[in-house]
Structure 1
């Protein structure tokens, strides 16, 4: 059983030219992690491989963003997202993620591939209050699933209000 990691508020910054790469199986368990991922997450290779990718999920990251991510991947589409991750020591790091489904020769999803880069600080300052509002909406509900749905509804409402789709919104930040 893994121990609960408590956020420290200390941020680690990904280097300008660094790229975090990971691959997962159909259940989201890590099958590959590059050296940059290992360094930023502060887990060993042995701790990461076979573990669910949610191991690095920061508690302030809205669940509805991951719901959107998984729904998009299940539709065999790529997705871009700003994500704050939690390292083993409680520090955190922001990434701009590009996640794609890995398809076999018959077009079946056999896993997932993610590349993560250093996000622009202005983009983080724009997405942070939105994520905070989504997380607050999610926490208003006793049931986590209901909270996630409410957060997703809120996010869809924000996008409609701005007259943009999710991809257009994320890439405009």
Structure 2
């Protein structure tokens, strides 16, 4: 699929409380499966999505340090819960509470990743949105993207340490 340019519209879209967005990726984060709810909300066809990086739905308001935490956790064969703001093909956005797990073979080797996403509580989104805005601003300050992500990661770690919780506990407490 050719790269497409889209800008955020500021319009939120949603899905049903009883619906689950499901996707699977290979070890490089390329989509290998996406259910009908994913396709409908994101505004893509299955053909357009399969083989593409999961970041095709990345919203620019999402801090890179949160994705680094997510990838580091699942690459270490851990699971993680995270609030994620995604962007549909037309620039609309939608929030999800994601549960991301590694997919393992019988020998415990990583095969890829599996994510189930549910509709989040609006109050939790409001709380995490403020934190994510701070993290994105911190990431943008330094000249180096790497330095920005390191500074934002350090800030997030400090926030979590101040609350005496890990990221998962923080997310699930909102």
TM over 0.5: yes
CA distance in 2, matches of 1:166, 1:97: 13
Q: Identify unmatched segments of 5+ residues in structure 2.
A: none
Distance in 2, Cα, partners of 1:152 & 1:171: 19
The aligned residue for residue 3 of structure 1 is: 4
In structure 2, C-alpha distance between the alignment counterparts of 1:77 and 1:148, rounded to whole Å: 21
Runs of 4 or more consecutive aligned structure 1 residues displaced over 6 Å after TM superposition: none
- The structural deviation recorded for 1:42 is 0.3
Q: How many residues align?
A: 173
Which residue number corresponds to residue 90 of structure 2? 89
Q: Write the deviation string for residues 99-155 of structure 1: whole angstroms up to 9, x where unpaired.
A: 000001111111000000000001001100000000000010222222111111110
Provide the C-alpha distance between the structure 2 equivalents of 1:55 and 1:147, rounded to a whole number of angstroms: 22
**Corresponding residue for 1:68?**
69
Match of 1:56 in 2: 57
Deviations 1:19-44 (A, max 9, x none): 00000000000000000000010011
Tell me whether 1:32 sits opposite 2:33 in the alignment: yes
Unaligned runs of 5+ in 1: none
